[in-house]
A = this chain, B = another copy of it.
């Protein structure tokens, strides 16, 4: 088995190539829309969700080509959500992945359409994924749609907006993040596994892993918003505090938030116990997510 750094590098290149191929070419009409869609997706991002898809695929013995389709679809949904979240009527952010946001690089109408079309493209990619059997493809469509819709990612975003400037209990904050970021991270893990063979017990264990990692991801995000600078983050630091958004740090303090993240890392590792070496990459990704500095 190669070391984690080599695996990460290989997967990163693989994901970039898969996304490149799954996005319409900018020579295709309408040129500007396609160019802006590629700008929004390519050349940046940590690709956490594609890495989770491939790592979960390894647990289930999935064909990496099948995982490419699932990974590209999940990442397009993530990218669409960032484009829309950055717009003036939402978070109004000028910087993303160290570059101007789409509505800054282009304009608001283009950003709106880029997000809309990226969401659609995710479902095009899944529907046309020839490496996956029809039954499984349909399951992937359902997983991705449920995770990203009004009872998943978009719903979490709506709850987030409603609570700006309001006090939130830890339970309410957790419920919000379970929808806003957790649902798509969980879908990444489940979709990778569904590209291969997995029984109900295995899927339940992966769900426990994904729930812990999803929550840890958000807790660490909240910590980094306070402790990292804008150059390191590639997006505007301190914006949660500036927007008066409830976070784990504002709710429980920095030290307790760090302890929570460490505990979730342990929970994630424990959930993988039954898989043995097949789950090495998932375990390493849990470490990466908790220990990252940006």
Contact = CB atoms under 8 A, between A and B. Distances in A.
A247 interface: no
A177 to B, nearest CB: 14
A158 B30 contact: yes
B112 A150 contact: no
Given A90-B112, A115-B116, A138-B127, A32 B158 contact: yes
A69 B27 CA distance: 35
A227 interface: no
Contacts of A119: 116, 119-120
Interface residues of A, number: 51
Interface in A116-165: 116-117, 119-121, 123-124, 126-128, 134-135, 137-138, 141-142, 144-146, 148-151, 154-155, 157-159, 161-162
Interface string A67-103: 0000000000000110010010110000000000000
B117 A149 contact: yes
B108 A124 contact: no
A158 B113 contact: yes
Interface in A48-79: none
A267 interface: no
B162 A30 contact: yes
Contact of A135 (B33, B37, B107, B134): B134
B141 A30 contact: no
A110 B134 CA distance: 35
A109 interface: yes
Given A113-B154, A115-B116, A128-B142, A30 B159 contact: yes
Contacts of A109: 89-90, 161
A28 interface: yes
Contacts of A157: 113
B121 A149 contact: yes
A21 interface: no
A29 interface: yes
Nearest to A91: B109
Given A33-B154, A137-B138, A155-B33, A87 B112 contact: yes
A34 interface: yes
B124 A145 contact: yes
A121 B141 CA distance: 11
A271 to B, nearest CB: 26
* Central interface residue in A112, A120, A151, A155, by most chain B CB within 10 Å: A120
Contacts of A121: 145, 149-150
A162 B84 contact: no
9 contacts: A89-B107, A113-B157, A117-B149, A120-B149, A124-B146, A124-B149, A128-B142, A137-B138, A138-B138
